[in-house]
Structure 1
């Protein structure tokens, strides 16, 4: 990022906070689906849960300027449709002029801080549906970790259902990311078996007063044919953190994208912090998978 752009961003943050809403109102918008029927969305909501590590780099995402530079590189590549992020990152990128003609999906429940005793208490601490609508964004994303051994799950399910209903009332996408989870050795673990994913999907797709605007965001796991057959909802595949096994991850994404119902990728760390740090090349590879599917 050029020093001039960084200076303007910091000046706007300090002296002209009202510019955020003004730039959002003037942002050029686009339809959810265009001529292509699959989406590539860049995700950047991990820092809000204190999750800063990528692969073997525990502090990879701690430098905000570096993260913004990587995001701007990714968003400028052909075939990238939009951004999924929390208000702080969305507003930085709005002020930097990086979100015209892009979808903007606001990340909503970031209260389950990684490694905390309240990690399953995924409260809605970031965007709410009313603000997403008022800012002219395109949808809201929520995490829904279903932990039978943690009573906080009940509140998460209720609040996710309410958010889905409210987003639908505004005519906006509700993107929900389900996991069947639990505690193991003092930390949160997700069960990524086909059995667990089918069960999690079955629960979350019934949340809310309507599923008309609900999209799923699910990991690529074994037996994806069976997992994808559990729903008729539009489904985006999440990238996760493949570490050094990026080639294997890309191959698995490409195969899963060919399944009925798969509507694209939502990828963050794997594209923003790839092995070798060539963000543009990693994004172009992911975009190529969509073009081939």
Structure 2
């Protein structure tokens, strides 16, 4: 039987590039697939792997080239990846690079785009819940999956340490979350749409402009700001997963970690919840 064609490589290589050579950070989050063609027939037909570049090595190449070209546009970065494989490996005849971007937009605070706080494009799903009896109704509005991040001004230190603790403290980390929140109405605002937007604006202003010693404190401060901004709300409940962006160890490749290249992870994640009311 003839081997008609073949290719192989690494898919779903998730990479967050943070360009932070000034106070104004740039972020590009990509999901990358790299597929190679070339002199690999023997690995299929004979089990001879001597020409095969391990898919883990392909992932490593994506990671360290992301560090070397942290500010490159996506199209340029795809070209850099392809050229690396063609230049480095004579037996590679073709490279297919597919990269899809998770888009982030700057959070706008008082009319100005923030330097290091971002919100996911096409973000969140508004929710409403109404419960009615003959005695009355309760109404809450909310949002699910409302996703935002900041690249600095967040820490995690001075937590409980015992024999189960392996996480290392950090004074500066990337903070990202996908918030589910609901707020219970005690009055009727002039416009629910405007009031709901005021909720998000107040929460995001706190997130972007306040140093975070931990997700717990940030949620509480966001809730306080919402209640101060919208008097018709009785209480707000917030649930935020701590969406982890893990620093990539590039020391085996002679590159330092400078807060520029991360691996996005979906699970497991920390889950932090609280409800803040008027007391």
TM-score by length of 2: 0.26
* Structure (1 or 2) with the greater helix fraction: 1
TM-score by length of 1: 0.25
